Amino acid sequence: MILILNENTDPASKSYRELMAHLSKLPNIESRVHNVQGAERMLTEIYLIGHTQALTVEDMRNLPCVERVVKVSEEYRILGRHKDENRPTGFDFNGVRFSQDTLHVFAGLCAVDNRENVETMMRALKANKQVCTRMGAYKPRTNPYSFQGHGKKCLPYVFELAGEYGIKVIAMEITHESHVGEITEALHETGNPTGVMLQIGTRNTQNFELLKSVGRQREYPVLIKRGFGITLDESLNAAEYLASEGNGRVIFGLRGMKTSHGDPHRNFVDFSHVPVIKRLTRMPVCIDPSHSVGSRALAPDGILDVFHVTAQGVAAGANMVLVDFHPAPAKALVDGPQALLLSELSHFLEDVAIAREAYVKRLALARQHRQSQQAA
């Protein structure tokens, strides 16, 4: 059960203290307070966990400070979309709004290799009016002898350059909880020139201790990738781990499933699940066409498969596109074969805009048909 408190409820107020005192006396029920800072207001939600069957919505609604009560199902309690609820989706981070209604492209380097390539990438992003990017500093690699990423060494120049080129959010994978501290330290040392969205990669989707520690910090939002060999339900529960520890600013990433049935793509493209994630949860949905397709394969119509699957995901309502670019893919230290060229960036963005426009038109068409059916 979730109690949604009146806007801007003051935790020092008498009524709030009365509410908390009442909740603390409920037998076998634990309450967890989540503060959600919106653009203009602070929303406080109290999650009641445990033996909530004994509580009624009416009784809870009559408690001081309570505006609304949502009875949640067992599934994905915090991030899930429950019956008859219309709580907002999304959050603001460093001046950028992420929700199930917005769309942002995170084009960038799969792995940071050197300062020059980071700068070239960021210059291209700025020229194309982009404020988000991806930059891999910690790389989980199959082969222990492969390049593992420059780690904390590259963070200062990545952050400085981001600030210089107006980048507001960098998606950056972490593979260990200590990386969060390294990121915070480097941001601090460089004067907080940008924001970081922590990325949990597909190999760590069920690294529960990592999920718990990333869930406990509230500073950075998290992009969690779907596990490539587990069920969707298992991956959504992994996302819920983050929220259950306190961090509800979570984006869910589709990046293809590992199976030979997806051949010749690197992974079986799963962007048909964009609307499924939106129906089951309130998370914005990210698609990663690069790790899904894994190559620069070109269709006979002259369009790269990476472009095609991106358009499919965006036309279905995706909210974020994480995509690999590189100034010289042949020299990239990780995933060069799937990287797009900087000369393709404006083409890619225009193609995304066409697909987004198609989605917006599809929404309007669906609304129009619903209304005419209701009127009939």
Which residues of the chain form contacts with Mn ion (CB under 5 A)? 110, 335
Site track 272-291 with ligand PEP (rule: CB under 6 A), x = hit: ----------------x--x
The alpha carbons of the chain give a radius of gyration, in whole angstroms, of 22
The residues that bridge with 172 in the sheet, in sequence order, are 198
Question: Contact between 110 and ligand PEP (CB under 6 A)?
Answer: yes
In angstroms, give the least distance from the CB of 348 to ligand PEP: 17
Q: Which is nearer to Mn ion, 110 or 210 (CB)?
A: 110
CA 183, CA 196: separation in Å to the nearest integer? 8
225 binds, among Mn ion, ligand PEP, none (CB under 5 to 8 A by kind): ligand PEP
Q: How many residues bind ligand PEP (CB under 6 A)?
A: 9
Of 126 and 203, the one with the shorter C-beta distance to ligand PEP is 203
Which of 80, 201, 294, 317 is in the footprint of ligand PEP by CB under 6 A?
201
| Cβ closest to Mn ion, residue 168 vs residue 291 | 291
Are 222 and 250 a contacting pair, CB within 8 Å? yes
Tell me the three-class secondary structure of the chain, residue by residue: CEEEECCCCCCCCHHHHHHHHHHHCCCCEEEEEEEEECCCCEEEEEEEEECHHHCCHHHHHCCCCEEEEECCCCCCCCCECCCCCCCCCCEEECCEEECCCCCEEEEEECCCCCHHHHHHHHHHHHHCCCCEEEECCCCCCCCCCCCCCCHHHHHHHHHHHHHHCCCCEEEEECCCCHHHHHHHHHHHHCCCCCEEEEEECHHHCCCHHHHHHHHHCCCCCEEEECCCCCCHHHHHHHHHHHHHCCCCCEEEEECCECCHHHCCCCCECCHHHHHHHHHHECCCEEECHHHHHCCCCECCCCCEHHHHHHHHHHHCCCCEEEEEEECCHHHCCCCHHHCEEHHHHHHHHHHHHHHHHHHHHHHHHHHHHHHHHHHC
Closest approach of Cβ 291 to Mn ion, in Å? Answer: 6
Residue 366 tokens, joined: 């669906």
Residue 202's binding partner out of Mn ion, ligand PEP, none, with CB under 5 to 8 Å set by partner kind: ligand PEP
User: 90, 136, 284, 289: which one contacts ligand PEP (CB under 6 A)?
Assistant: 136
Question: Would you say 80 or 136 has its CB closer to Mn ion?
Answer: 136
Residue in 130, 194, 202, 281 binding ligand PEP, rule: CB under 6 A = 202
Sketch the per residue contact string, 247 through 266, with ligand PEP: x for CB under 6 A, - otherwise. Answer: --------x-----------
Site string for ligand PEP, 67-106 (x = CB under 6 A): ----------------------------------------
Beta-bridge mates of residue 241: none
Binders of ligand PEP among residues 152 to 181 (CB under 6 A) are 173
* Spatial separation of the C-alpha atoms in residues 360 and 210, rounded to whole Å: 37
Q: Which does 318 bind (CB under 5 to 8 A by kind): Mn ion, ligand PEP, none?
A: none
Q: Of 136 and 248, which CB lies nearer to ligand PEP in the complex structure? A: 136
Residue (9 or 290) nearer to Mn ion, CB? 290
Q: Which does 207 bind (CB under 5 to 8 A by kind): Mn ion, ligand PEP, none?
A: none
CB closer to ligand PEP, 45 vs 335: 335
User: Of 290-329, which residues contact ligand PEP (CB under 6 A)?
Assistant: 291
Q: Which is nearer to ligand PEP, 245 or 324 (CB)?
A: 324
Q: Least distance in Å: CB of 212 to ligand PEP?
A: 19
> Which positions from 220 through 239 interact with ligand PEP, judged by CB under 6 A?
225
Rounded Cα distance, 167 and 131, in Å: 4
Between 146 and 371, CB nearer to ligand PEP: 146
- Greatest CA span in the chain, whole angstroms? 69
Query: Per the structure block, which two tokens stand in for 16?
Result: 């709030």
Could you tell me the smallest distance in angstroms from the CB atom of residue 125 to ligand PEP? 17
The footprint of ligand PEP (CB under 6 A) covers 110, 136, 173, 201-202, 225, 255, 288, 291
